[in-house]
Amino acid sequence: VVARDHDNRLVEQPPVVEGDRITALLDWGNAHVSTPGYAIARAEMRFVDWFRPPADERDRLRAALRAGYRAHRPLPPGYETVAGLWKAAWLGQSVGRLARHTHTRRGRRQLRRHVESLLE
């Protein structure tokens, strides 16, 4: 996998592999346009919280994402305290994109559940 580091240099970076299968490719390319805390929270929201897996699976995925991030650099100071605020900010900025979900009953139910999960 070829990726760009924070100095915009091309570097080789392995994908997330389980056995002989690639299980994920993470694109950290937009992290430079926001704070690291916002970028991590956005990734958690999109890849962990959004699909609402069971709580134990959500905790495992969140821990794995954070551990992977910490393997390269520390989490921002106070991240645990403000992660919910960063997630709410991402959700607010995505309102226009998410508006199409309001056209169906299923979409409205999903949006309600996601907002409720932010308040947990």
Confidence band for 77, pLDDT divided at 50, 70 and 90: very high
pLDDT 10s digits, 81-101: 999 998 888 888 877 777 877
- Cβ atoms 28, 34 nearer than 8 A: no
**17 versus 30: which is more confidently predicted?**
17
Q: How far apart are alpha carbons 117 and 120 in whole angstroms?
A: 5
Contacting residues for 113 by C-beta, under 8 A, at least 6 apart: 52
pTM of the model: 0.54
Mean pLDDT of 44-60: 87
Mean pLDDT of the chain: 78
Where does 1-120 have alpha helices with state H? Answer: 36-44, 55-70, 79-93, 95-98, 105-119
| Three-state DSSP state, 28 | coil
Q: How far apart are alpha carbons 61 and 94 in whole angstroms?
A: 23
